[in-house]
Amino acid sequence: MTTCWIGVAAGRHVEIAVRDGFAMFAHGKHAAARRLASGDWVAYYSPRDGMDEGAELRAFTAIGRVLPGEPAERVMTPLQTGWSRAMKWLDATPADIYPLLDQLSFVTNRRHWGMYFRKSLFSVPEADFRLIASAMGVSVDAKP
């Protein structure tokens, strides 16, 4: 069964993931990478350009599909490794979250919409994921 996921990461980190063809969640925790299966869809939401600094983005910044294979360890910094999944990223345009907030079914309280994105990785209904993909200018197929 294909699952649709939202990962939350700084824009600069997403750029590296897209460039190098991987996805990482929860600061590289193995349990997070294990939650995804081959063929699952992932969209990254980036609140800011950097982790605690940089411009506010508040946008979906990448979208793609998990490739076959198991989670793999990769170097995050010279002294730190983390677990990742191989990804096929689509050529997509970042999408501002604000126009989507009233349409996303998992955002049940628009006033506190940011609380839904406090997790590093969470699943969403396929209809919500398709809405995000459309806003990013791409089409996603539910079949692996």
d(CA 142, CA 86): 19
pLDDT at position 35: 95
Consecutive H or E run containing 34: helix 30-35
If you average pLDDT over residues 28-35, what whole number do you get?
Answer: 93
Q: Yes or no: say if 41 and 78 are a contact pair by the CB < 8 Å rule.
A: no
Q: How confident is the model at residue 80 (pLDDT cuts 50, 70, 90)?
A: confident
> Where does residue 69 rank: exposed (0-12), middle (13-18), buried (19+ CB within 10 A)?
exposed
pLDDT, one tens digit per residue, over 106-135 is: 999 988 898 889 999 999 999 999 999 999
Measured CA to CA, the distance from residue 48 to residue 58 in angstroms comes to 6
pTM of the model: 0.92
Cα atoms found within 13 Å of the Cα of residue 132, Cβ hemisphere only:
28
Q: Is the confidence at residue 52, as pLDDT, over 70? A: no
For each of the domains in the chain, give its residue range(s) and CATH number, in order of start: 4-135 (3.10.590.10)
pLDDT at 75 (0 to 100): 87
Question: Residue 1 — pLDDT band, cuts 50, 70, 90?
Answer: low
Give 41's pLDDT tier (boundaries 50, 70, 90).
very high
**HSE of 144, CA atoms in CB hemisphere, 13 A:** 10
